Structure 1
Amino acid sequence: MLFMKGKPEEPKCGFSRKVVEILKEEKVDFGSFDILTDAEVRQGLKVYSNWSSYPQLYIKGELIGGSDIVLEMQKSGELSVIIQKETLEDRLKRLVSSSPVMLFMKGNPDAPKCGFSSKVVNALKEEGVTFGSFDILSDEEVRQGLKAFSNWPTFPQLYYKGELVGGCDIVLELRTDGALKSTLSE
């Protein structure tokens, strides 16, 4: 997971751009979060990681470092070794835990690509819930693997602290019952 300025397709600083380039050279599938979109996450992650700058690269939930460290690890070959050890199950565990509230959806929160994903995004936003997301249309391995991993055949899938909450119907039911926000902040 890369916490960066901007998005991989449009980095907003040279250091973020460099880490994205390295990850692409290494053929790494990675999630990202634009820290410019959420000041609370931007400041909180600095405290959490005890790392004051961005980008920040995490592998298996552990901070690897910023652009200088990632560049050095690539040059030494250490980055390839760390990346290659990850199985699909490890990757899925990492992805579902990459944010306390994590939504696997079609599209992204700004442009959902199905009505069910749109409904869940709207419910979360209306409740003021901060969440990470992953576009399952961007990665067929994750899309298929997550169905088996969660034993849930459809998308979207919402996770809280690495545990499946459910899909659209369950999220909407929790919201109707007034329990969505409390369920995602226990």
Structure 2
Amino acid sequence: MAASSVDITSSEDFEKFIDTTGNSLVVVHFSADWAPQCKQMNDVLDELTKDTRFINVRFVKLEAESAPEVSEKFGISAVPVFVFLRGKKEVDRLNGANAPELTKKVEHHASVAATALPAPEEDITVRLRKLINAAPVMLFMKGNPQEPRCGFSRQIVDILNQHGVQYSTFDILSDQTVRQELKTFSDWPTYPQLYANGELLGGLDIVKELVETGELESQLPKAEKLEDRLKSLINKDKIMLFMKGNREQPRCGFSKQMIAVLQDAGVKYSTFDILEDEAVRQGLKKYSEWPTYPQLYVNGELIGGLDIVKELKESGELESTLQG
């Protein structure tokens, strides 16, 4: 399981959140809804949360105007601004929309934190389990699928690609702690290591044997086509809302407003928390050709996001639209 970002819309909620972070690295994006560059950088932030190297980094999206006390405290006079915190103290910041520099700073401070504060034995065990279960099929290798850093890793990547296996990877060269501790955890001394549903299959030799015996596919979880899954979710109920959080605890201001509109309309609807499933979160944006959340569907058809729903309400068309 990778890191996740938190949407915060008030100074009070920010302070409560910071009290829970201890000495973890926290990256706060001070943003504004009206600024297109902030939306672009939020997409960058979402990509960083999927990087398993940053599993212990806490990412925060904070509306600067909705938390004036916090903005004043950190001297925010323009957006976007990224403030790096550890132990509630600022250790760095980045002004402006500069994706490469943001990635570079996160990499630097995450590696500094890992070096300066080695995790206790039980913590590394928890982290390894999270990494192993980050995807149905996880490959721990040297490098990445685009640039394998050893011949064995290159061969196993070729095999998985040739067999159309959907898998995620972790570069053990990027984290010396994971590289050493996973050998002990798995009782397997070499890399690459391939896991399926949290269980170790083995290294390159084992995978080759499974290919030769025709058993590879049976050892791997059968992946449901994402498009089929999306269609199933969209048609799960007559009115489906894909949002951040749920109706009891919306995790962003837009989702909260959408819930309020639907409740005022007095309709029955179901929700899906896109923060709980990264494949759905990214896949639905492409499937619907709608880049943001929340997304509202009626009878399997996309109505749109919050702005569209508000327009329908103002024009008096919302009720008939929700009735399909």
TM-score scaled by structure 2?
Answer: 0.32
Separation in structure 2 between the aligned mates of residue 175 and residue 90 of structure 1, nearest angstrom: 31
Task: Please give the secondary structure, in 2, of the residue aligned with 1:158.
Answer: strand
Give, in whole Å, the separation in 2 of the partners of 1:114 and 1:177.
25
Tell me if 1:115 matches 2:253. yes
In percent, how many aligned pairs have the same letter? 55
Q: Distance in 2 between matches of 1:125 and 1:100?
A: 15
Structure with the larger RCO, 1 or 2 (CA within 8 Å, 6+ apart): 1
Distance (Å, rounded) in 1 between the aligned partners of 2:269 and 2:309: 14
| Residue of 168, 173, 180 corresponding to 2:311 | 173
1:145 counterpart residue number: 283
Matches within 5 A, 1:56-95: 84=222, 86-95=224-233
The residue aligned with 1:97 is: 235
Runs of 4+ in 1 over 6 A off after TM superposition: none
Shift of 1:89: 0.3
The letter of the residue matching 1:86 is E
Q: Which amino acid aligns with 2:228?
A: D
Q: Which residue of 1 aligns with 2:264?
A: 126
Corresponding residue number in structure 1 for 2:320: 182
Determine the structure 2 residue equivalent to 1:60.
none
> Which amino acid letter does the alignment assign opposite residue 314 of structure 2?
T
Deviations for 1:47-83, whole angstroms, at most 9, x for unmatched residues?
xxxxxxxxxxxxxxxxxxxxxxxxxxxxxxxxx9xx9
Cα distance between partner residues in 1 of 2:296 and 2:263: 14
The AA in structure 1 aligned to 2:280 is: V
SS in 1 for 2:230: helix
With the length of structure 1 as denominator, give the TM-score of the two structures: 0.54
Q: CA deviation at 1:84?
A: 3.5
Task: Identify unmatched segments of 5+ residues in structure 2.
Answer: 1-134, 137-217
Choose from 264, 270, 273 the match for 1:135.
273
**Cross-structure match for 1:44:** none
Instruction: State the secondary structure of the residue aligned to 1:119.
Output: helix
CA deviation map 1:19-70 (0-9, x unaligned): xxxxxxxx99xxxxxxxxxxxxxxxxxxxxxxxxxxxxxxxxxxxxxxxxxx
Q: Partner residue of 1:58?
A: none
Aligned-residue CA RMSD in angstroms?
A: 2.0
SS in 2 for 1:108: coil
- Tell me the CA shift for residue 85 of structure 1: 6.3
Number of positions where the alignment pairs a residue of Structure 1 with one of Structure 2: 107
Q: Please say if 1:158 is aligned against 2:296.
A: yes
**2:283 counterpart SS class:** helix
CA distance in 2, matches of 1:151, 1:135: 19
5+ unaligned residues in a row in structure 1: which ranges?
1-26, 29-79
SS at 1:117 equivalent = helix
Give the 3-state SS of the residue equivalent to 1:143 in structure 2: helix
Whole-angstrom distance in 2 between the partners of 1:126 and 1:157 = 18
| Cα distance in 1 between the residues matched to 2:319 and 2:287 | 25
Q: Displacement, 1:86?
A: 2.6
